[in-house]
Amino acid sequence: MGINPHDKPAGHLPGSVQQNRLPSEDVQDFWRLFAEAKSPQAFYENWLTLQCNMLKGTHCALLLLGVPDTGPFTPAAVFPNSSHNVTHLVPTAERALKERRGLTADASGDGGSNMHRVAYPIDVSGGIHGVVVLEVNGLSPIEVQAIMRQLYWGAAWLEVMFRRTEAFRSQEAIERLRKVLDSVAVVIEHDQFRAAAMGFVTGLATKLECNRVSIGFKDDNHVRVATLSHSAEFDKHTNLVGALESVMDEAIDQQAVIIYPLPPDVLPLVTLAHEKLAREHGAGVICTVPFGENGSLIGGITLERPAERPFDESTIELVKTVANLAGPILQTKRREERLLPAKAVEAAEKQLKKFLGPAHFGLKLAAVLVLVGIIFFTFAKGVHRVKAPTVLEGIVQRSVGAPFNGYVVEAPARPGDVLKQGAVLCRLDDRELTLERLKWWTQREQAEKQYNEAMAKHDRAQALINEAKMNQAEAQVSLLDEQLSHAKIIAPFDGVVTSGDFSQSLGTPVERGQVLFEVAPLRGYRVIVQVDERDIGWVAIGQNGKLALPSIPGAVFPLTVTRITPISTAKEGRNYFRVEADLQKTSARLRPGMEGVGKIETGRARLIWIWTHDVVEWIRLNIWAWWP
């Protein structure tokens, strides 16, 4: 934060005191001037004067203001007058700015008696805007602290001034932004280029109080006027239009904003076309602003005003902002309204210039590679393959059912388990069968006892009846023994369980004959290829192919087509034919139900045909369907 003590305040209000204290009537005048201050400088001078007269013992004072926190800080007001030498107050001001706090310093060594310097930084919202330093004498330390408190409360007036200035600047920025948005909104709300351009230039002329605003765009390295404000129709061959086009060309060629007459503090520019427009068509002040797109200038805007109302810096900045926002939008609308042949010609010209020009090596290399690729794929041949989703099935799949009605009490097998022959799949509850067997065995023992008693009594008829009961009971026991032997359901052969899971539903009732598990062998598979109806004509029995399974990455299994089912099935809105094939090589990792992608080789053909025949056939079919 720098301080320049040699800068003088911009001015001093008439009636400012030349002595340290003012009479009461003069103080009232300064209060009035302070309340009615029209400029920041007058505000600062009257504020400092009032502060010093409110504080007794004030010898001199300095108010430094600048850019918040960074500076440089220059004198905004000096007490008792602007010519008073206050350079000895600068060190105290620098210290207060550095430490960002109010402080007092003993100045008796400078020749004063009991002299103090009081400094207080102007802090607004955490930013140091400046500092006020007072030199006072003949005061006690308590009175010096009272001065510090007074400066604290008096600084609030400066904060009000800063807030008012910031609000004024914000209002100016908001107003400028509103004008920019209004101008761009006019361009966007119209779909047609001419209506958008007319609304844009007419609105700009009204907002900026211009006699005429015109806009033009480059065509063939020369600007063509597109629209004039307040003129729906105009002759493009008039002298006025030619002069405006020359003005815009002049600004675009120099890539600069041109103000005519040239202000004294700008770099010299060529303004012959502007001078001619002002001389021949009565333009007092002319402002031409070029605008661009993608780093190149594409057009310009020319504004004309009477000589008594020149363009200020804020207006020029507003026009530059509006031009750079609205110009590319208008250019896009202008391009979109051209006829399709014109667009195609322009695109072809751009690509041809790039291809034949000295640059764009990458584009030329890409074009050559594309040409070589087309020639190669037109004449080179490759193997045509029919690609289709594929699923793996076992040649044999055994269903294991429930031997009797009962409940599942144990189910160790689950789908995907690989089991040996005789391994337990599940076990059914046999308690009822065991009790039933015990009942029939008891009846058999009772019948045998009655039979023996009848034989002892030589009662042949009763003996035959009891023998029949005994045989019946033995038959029932044999049947129950057979059922009990099947209470444990076992794997019929070495294989993998493909369906059936009772591990989380123990106690589930099952009925006799109900399928509980399906087991497929680990050897012997067939491949089911679901060929789309569009490709089935290329498939024949005996053709070879390959199968890739995502569950076995990196492995490819050869296959041979063995059967084509002549009936299609609908799936996901398409028709598929079931094609069966045998695997020529197997793996221990194969499992029934695995899905993958199969490719059947149908013969050799040209690569360009292989890659495009699906699209060609689809186009040909649709043309035939719509052809009358």
The answer to whether the 190-337 and 524-626 domains have the same CATH topology is: no
- Ramachandran area for residue 136 (φ above 0: left; ψ -120 to 50: alpha; else beta): beta
Banded pLDDT at 108 (limits 50, 70, 90):
low
What is the CATH architecture assignment of 190-337?
2-Layer Sandwich (3.30)
pLDDT score of 100:
85
Show contacts of 98-104: CB within 8 Å, 24+ apart. Answer: 98/1, 100/128, 102/148, 102/151, 102/152, 104/144, 104/148
Cβ atoms within 10 Å, residue 141: 9
Domain ranges of the chain: 24-168, 190-337, 399-517, 524-626
546 close to 556: Cβ distance less than 8 angstroms: yes
Angle among Cα 257, 260, 263 to the nearest 5 degrees reads: 85
What value does the CA radius of gyration of the chain take, rounded to a whole number of Å? 52
299 close to 291: Cβ distance less than 8 angstroms: yes
Nearest to 490 by CA among 405, 427, 423: 423
pLDDT score of 29:
57
pLDDT digits (tens, 9 = 90+) for 214-261: 999 988 788 999 889 888 777 777 888 899 999 999 999 998 999 988
pLDDT score of 246:
92
Distances (CA, A) of 504 to 345, 409, 410, 413: 73, 11, 10, 11
Is a pLDDT exceeding 60 seen at residue 27? no
User: What are the φ and ψ backbone dihedral angles of 227, each rounded to 5 degrees?
Assistant: -155, 145
592 close to 498: Cβ distance less than 8 angstroms: yes
Looking at domain 524-626, does it have CATH number 2.40.30.170? yes
Cα–Cα distance for residue pair 105/23, rounded to 1 Å: 29
Cα–Cα distance for residue pair 479/30, rounded to 1 Å: 128
Distances (CA, A) of 125 to 96, 129, 133, 234: 17, 10, 21, 57
Banded pLDDT at 28 (limits 50, 70, 90):
low
Length of the chain as a residue count: 628
Banded pLDDT at 285 (limits 50, 70, 90):
very high
Cα–Cα distance for residue pair 486/480, rounded to 1 Å: 10
Banded pLDDT at 287 (limits 50, 70, 90):
very high
Cα–Cα distance for residue pair 551/193, rounded to 1 Å: 60
616 close to 391: Cβ distance less than 8 angstroms: no
Cα–Cα distance for residue pair 116/104, rounded to 1 Å: 7
73 close to 90: Cβ distance less than 8 angstroms: no
pLDDT score of 16:
34
Is a pLDDT exceeding 60 seen at residue 6? no
Least confident piece of the model among 32-36, 116-120, 418-422, 537-541: 32-36
Least confident piece of the model among 112-121, 165-174, 361-370, 470-479: 165-174
Cβ atoms within 10 Å, residue 8: 12
pLDDT score of 12:
38
Query: Which residue did the predictor score with more confidence, 398 or 22?
Result: 398
Find where tokens 């294991």 sit. Answer: 400
Angle among Cα 583, 587, 591 to the nearest 5 degrees reads: 85
Query: Quick one: what percent of the chain has pLDDT higher than 70?
Result: 90
Handedness of CA 490, 491, 493, 494 (dihedral sign): negative
Alpha carbons within 13 A on the beta-carbon side of 302: 34
- Ramachandran area for residue 134 (φ above 0: left; ψ -120 to 50: alpha; else beta): beta
pLDDT digits (tens, 9 = 90+) for 162-197: 777 776 666 656 666 677 677 777 778 888 888 888
pLDDT digits (tens, 9 = 90+) for 502-527: 777 787 788 888 888 888 777 777 88
> Mean pLDDT, to the nearest integer, of 331-354?
78
Looking at domain 24-168, does it have CATH number 3.30.450.40? yes
Distances (CA, A) of 306 to 44, 70, 282, 320: 38, 42, 9, 20
Is a pLDDT exceeding 80 seen at residue 126? no
**Tokens matching residue 588:** 């221990």
Banded pLDDT at 301 (limits 50, 70, 90):
very high
Query: Quick one: what percent of the chain has pLDDT higher than 90?
Result: 11
pLDDT score of 352:
76
Q: What is the CATH class of 399-517? A: mainly beta
> Mean pLDDT, to the nearest integer, of 548-563?
89
Cα–Cα distance for residue pair 492/472, rounded to 1 Å: 32
> Mean pLDDT, to the nearest integer, of 458-473?
85
| Buried b / exposed e along 449-475 (16+ C-beta atoms within 10 A) | ebbeebeeeeeeeebeebbebbeebbe
Residue 343: its H or E element: helix 340-356
Beta bridge partners of 545: 559, 600
